[in-house]
Amino acid sequence: MATRKLTHRSNTAVIVILVLAIVIVANVLITTISHHLRLDLTGDKRFTLTEATKKTLRELDDRVKIKLYISEKFPNGLLPSKRRLEELLAEYATYAPKGYFIYNFEDPAQAVEPNEYEEFVRKLADKGLFLNQDRVQTATERGAYLYMFGALLEYRDHEPVALNTNFLAVPESLEYHLTRGIRSLVRPKPRFIGFLKGDDYKNVMEGREYRSFVEFLNFHKIPIKAATIENRKVVPDDVRVLVIVGESRNMHESDLYAIDQFVMNGGRLLVMTEGVEIMQGAASMARQRGLQFFSPKPSGLAKLLKHYGIDIKPGIMLDLNEKVCYQSPGVR
């Protein structure tokens, strides 16, 4: 009998230990999984972050701080945005590495002593965050008041990114602006104006004809560089605006493909092309009479520009540098 009781107690102890172990393991698993997995049962999936946002947060390599300066009194129309901000930031924190995403809400009027408030607001303005004005008219209150509804994004010693009321006023676009702000903060990358260089294009960087244009860009500290096309890709990748000057008549299909892909991926394209070619060998008598002749000049970019809805017309509107009348051959 004693042996049977001892065996029963041993089995009970084993079961208790197993149950405790299962509870502990389950708790660890739930904590780990819930950090990266959250169920969204709403019909419009408003709590579901995009994959781009999740990727940006997972790749954070240092702490990002978001300081939200929201006055105690602000327009009632911004209440949905404030609630969405609270939900969204909590969601962001679950996807970022632990301790790498920190945020807090603060009333600017309570952040400092009253006699320091104006200086505090001025410093925020220097960082790009500004006060707003709203008018109120009720049975008991009438007039205008100033409020703040914005955020400062900080990362290491980089220049902070400010999101003012116009960025935060629409709940549906909050994720876009927050993620875009974080990406621009943690991935600062110089963006250049690239002049396409090669045998088929004019060398703007060195040619005298466009020297004043290049000097203008340099004077205003606009970064420029030469860009070449290799393996159907515009190189370098940090070109934001691609400038093409004086392309040849027969551009290679791979060049056109690379330019089109550059535009499709968000790049800007500036084309300086001519639809006509001045006939330098025109009769001297015609020149003496103030006439100049031109002929249509085929463009190697015509096919690509046509795809964008742009036609290059073989004509001249007016040349202020020449006091002559331009005519196409055969025109009387």
- Specify if 199 maps to a domain: yes
pLDDT, tens digit, 9 for 90 and up, residues 154-171: 998 888 989 998 889 999
pLDDT of residue 93 exceeding 90: yes
Residue at which a domain ends, from 128, 153, 186: 186
pLDDT, tens digit, 9 for 90 and up, residues 237-294: 788 888 888 766 677 788 888 888 777 766 788 888 777 776 665 545 555 555 556 6
Closest CA to 136 of 124, 127, 145, 128: 145
181 with 197, same domain: the answer is: no
Is 267 within 8 Å of 241 (Cβ atoms)?
yes
- Specify if 249 maps to a domain: yes
Q: What is the pLDDT of residue 155?
A: 93
Residue at which a domain ends, from 186, 201, 223: 186
Residue 93's H or E segment, with its range, is: helix 79-95
pLDDT of residue 91 exceeding 90: yes
Give the integer Cα–Cα distance in Å for 301 and 242: 14
258 with 295, same domain: the answer is: yes
Q: What is the pLDDT of residue 201?
A: 65
154 with 210, same domain: the answer is: no
Contacts of 153 (CB under 8 A, 6+ apart): 64, 65, 66, 160, 161, 162, 163, 181, 182, 185
- Helix axis angle for 51-58 and 79-95, nearest 10°, is 50
- What's the one-letter identity of residue 322? E
Phi first, then psi: what are they for 115, rounded to 5°?
-75, -10
Q: What is the pLDDT of residue 199?
A: 65
Which residue did the predictor score with more confidence, 24 or 42?
24
Which two tokens mark 185?
Answer: 């903060």
202 with 114, same domain: the answer is: no
Phi first, then psi: what are they for 21, rounded to 5°?
-65, -40
Q: What is the pLDDT of residue 70?
A: 94
Q: What percent of the chain has pLDDT over 70?
A: 67
pLDDT, tens digit, 9 for 90 and up, residues 105-117: 999 999 899 999 9
140 with 207, same domain: the answer is: no
- Specify if 332 maps to a domain: no
Average pLDDT of the residues in 198-227? 73
Residue at which a domain ends, from 186, 213, 236: 186
- Specify if 309 maps to a domain: yes
The counts of H helices and E strands in the chain are 11, 14
Q: What is the DSSP letter of 100?
A: S
Give the confidence band of 66 by pLDDT, cuts at 50, 70, 90: very high
Long-range CB contact pairs, 174-178, < 8 A, 24+: 174/81, 174/84, 174/85, 174/88, 175/49, 175/50, 175/53, 175/88, 178/66, 178/88, 178/89, 178/92, 178/151
pLDDT of residue 97 exceeding 80: yes
- Specify if 11 maps to a domain: no
Is 182 within 8 Å of 153 (Cβ atoms)?
yes
Task: Write out the DSSP string of 244-301.
Answer: EES--SS--HHHHHHHHHHHHTT-EEEEE--SEEE-TT--HHHHHTTEEEEEE---TT
- Specify if 16 maps to a domain: no
Contacts of 164 (CB under 8 A, 6+ apart): 128, 129, 130, 149, 150
- Specify if 243 maps to a domain: yes
225 with 98, same domain: the answer is: no
- Judged by average pLDDT, the poorest of 9-13, 70-74, 209-213, 313-317 is 9-13
134 with 95, same domain: the answer is: yes
226 with 272, same domain: the answer is: yes
- Is pTM beyond 0.85? Reply is no
- Specify if 141 maps to a domain: yes
Phi/psi zone of residue 61: left (φ > 0), alpha (ψ -120 to 50 degrees), beta? alpha
Give the confidence band of 231 by pLDDT, cuts at 50, 70, 90: low
Looking at the 3D structure of the chain, how many domains does it have?
2
Average pLDDT of the residues in 131-138? 82
Which two tokens mark 307?
Answer: 């795809």
Residue 69 is part of a domain; what is its CATH number? 3.40.30.10
Domain that holds residue 106: 51-186
- What's the one-letter identity of residue 245? V
pLDDT of residue 71 exceeding 50: yes
Task: Write out the DSSP string of 69-87.
Answer: EE-SS--GGGHHHHHHHHH
290 with 197, same domain: the answer is: yes
199 with 322, same domain: the answer is: yes
Closest CA to 247 of 201, 296, 196: 201
241 with 291, same domain: the answer is: yes
204 with 302, same domain: the answer is: yes
